[in-house]
């Protein structure tokens, strides 16, 4: 990349100098616990997303995991499908010789993908919802050696439906552990399960993530059916903004603003926000350093924000952008909402919202508590525990505490809000 020769008008998510170093598609792995989400990410990218001590000890995903991969296709038109598709790590060269005997073609990079590996345990649903906020597409993992659907299979599918995700690939995993007739019976159960949902009509691919079987079919689907663009916001972690560019181009050296920023209360209890002004000092996508970043993929934006403001993930959910371009900051929102009839995976009916009830909302990458101020028909006014920088029309997820766990109960859309005072 050469920032001196940068022409923003000619950049696309598939421009060679972009795709060579930066991922431009976000794909989530969703599904029930232990159905193979982390394993399929490793099969495609070569990266094991379980990194934290607690995760390694318990061998489960607890926090969102991230990994980048390049997907290639052989340029020889006679190279048979799906074997003409391959995946490698993000740092791999953009082309290399085809290893099929007798083929003179070369594998050339077609897509650069960021994977968001979501936890499958029911008590980590809030973490999964944060991951869904930055997905362009999703791989729904269903273990072939278990009945379909499992509780979090239903819950995760409902979550991506709330987020309006339209590109889904269902992976029938662990087929190496079952007989052919069992696989066929479960395939029919999967079709019954997805009927009438956002996944209706999505292809079902039998795979073995552990053995790498049919991973080339997954790569072909990503190249042919997932559009190469993004449109979501960033969250701030420890002085480095990690997320996806919403619009425009970020450049090293650019002046930026982070909202809501520093939150404080006055003598009368009124809350005010002071946006944080800073400058971009580095841009990274996994191990690749960038001079500029376009919409798409997961990006790390190094800033000059004081590290003491960012300790312990205090600034997750905040939004970064060019100075003067970000939306308003709200502490109260008026929403239209839709409640599920029953809790997914269990038979408990979802009760109506009640005044003064405490809920959890997911707005973009922010999870925060809220109190219901008023309810009328399908409209509600909620007071948030912490301010949020968001746009009118944004989708939100609603969760209620049931049996000591937060469970998804419905979704909503922001109609209007009460802006908070911004101190310059």
**Nearest by Cα to 352 from 363, 338, 362:** 338
pLDDT-based confidence at 239, cuts 50/70/90? low
pLDDT in tens, 56-107: 655 555 567 788 999 999 999 999 999 999 999 998 999 999 999 989 999 9
What confidence score (pLDDT) does residue 230 get? 47
> Is 0.85 topped by the overall pTM?
no
State residue 235's pLDDT score: 40
Residue 123 confidence (pLDDT): 44
- For the segment 336-356, what is each residue's pLDDT rounded down to a tens digit? 999 988 876 667 788 999 999
Please give the residue that has the higher pLDDT: either 50 or 340. Answer: 340
For the record, the structure tokens of 149 come out as 């659907």
| Tally of CA atoms within 13 A in the half-sphere of 58 that contains its CB | 12
Q: Tell me the average pLDDT across 247-257.
A: 88
Listed range (13-22, 78-87, 302-311, 397-406) with the worst mean pLDDT:
302-311
Q: How far apart are CA 213 and CA 334, in angstroms?
A: 48
Eight-class DSSP state of 33: T
- Residues 368-387 have a mean pLDDT of 93
Each residue of 134-143: pLDDT tens digit? 678 889 999 9
pLDDT given at position 53: 61
Burial state string for 231-241 with b = 16 or more CB within 10 A and e = fewer than 16: ebbbbbbbbbb
Domains of the chain with CATH codes: 16-225 (3.40.50.300), 239-322 (2.40.30.10), 329-419 (2.40.30.10)
Q: Is the pLDDT of residue 237 over 80?
A: no
């Amino acid at each position: 990349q050469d920032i001196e020769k940068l022409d923003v008008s000619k950049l696309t998510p598939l421009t060679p100098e972009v795709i060579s170093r930066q991922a431009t598609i976000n794909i989530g792995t969703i599904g029930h616990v232990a159905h193979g989400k982390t394993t399929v990410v490793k099969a495609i990218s070569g990266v094991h997303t379980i990194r934290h001590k607690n995760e390694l000890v318990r061998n489960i995903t607890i926090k969102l995991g991230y990994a980048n991969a390049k997907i290639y296709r052989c340029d020889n038109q006679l190279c048979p499908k799906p074997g003409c598709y391959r995946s490698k790590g993000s740092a791999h060269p953009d082309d290399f010789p085809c290893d099929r005997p007798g083929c003179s073609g070369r594998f050339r990079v077609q897509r650069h993908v960021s994977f968001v590996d979501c936890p499958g345990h029911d008590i980590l649903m809030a973490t999964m919802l944060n991951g869904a906020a930055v997905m362009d597409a999703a791989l729904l993992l269903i273990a072939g050696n278990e009945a379909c659907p499992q509780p979090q299979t239903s819950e995760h599918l409902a979550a991506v439906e709330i987020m309006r995700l339209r590109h889904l690939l269902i992976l029938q995993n662990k087929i190496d552990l079952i007989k052919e007739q069992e696989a066929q019976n479960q395939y029919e159960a999967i079709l019954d399960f997805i009927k009438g949902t956002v996944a209706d009509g999505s292809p079902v691919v039998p795979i073995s993530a552990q053995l790498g079987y049919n991973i080339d079919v997954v790569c072909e689907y990503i190249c042919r059916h997932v559009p190469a663009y993004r449109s979501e916001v960033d969250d701030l972690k420890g002085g480095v903004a990690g997320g996806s560019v919403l619009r425009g181009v970020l450049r090293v050296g650019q002046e930026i603003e982070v909202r809501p920023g520093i939150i404080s209360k006055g003598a009368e209890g009124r809350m005010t926000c002071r946006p944080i002004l800073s400058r971009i000092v580095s841009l990274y996508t996994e191990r690749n350093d960038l001079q500029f970043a376009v919409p798409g993929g997961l990006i790390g934006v190094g800033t000059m924000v004081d590290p003491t403001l960012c300790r312990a993930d205090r600034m997750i959910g905040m939004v970064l952008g060019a100075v003067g371009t970000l939306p308003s900051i709200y502490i109260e929102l008026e929403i239209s909402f839709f409640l599920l009839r029953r809790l997914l995976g269990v038979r408990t009916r979802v009760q109506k919202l009640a005044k003064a009830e405490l809920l959890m909302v997911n707005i973009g990458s922010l999870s925060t508590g809220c109190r219901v101020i008023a309810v009328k028909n399908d409209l509600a006014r909620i007071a948030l525990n912490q301010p949020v920088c968001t746009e009118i029309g944004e989708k939100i997820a609603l969760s209620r505490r049931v049996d000591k766990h937060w469970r998804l109960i419905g979704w909503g859309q922001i109609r209007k809000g009460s802006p908070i005072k911004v101190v310059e």
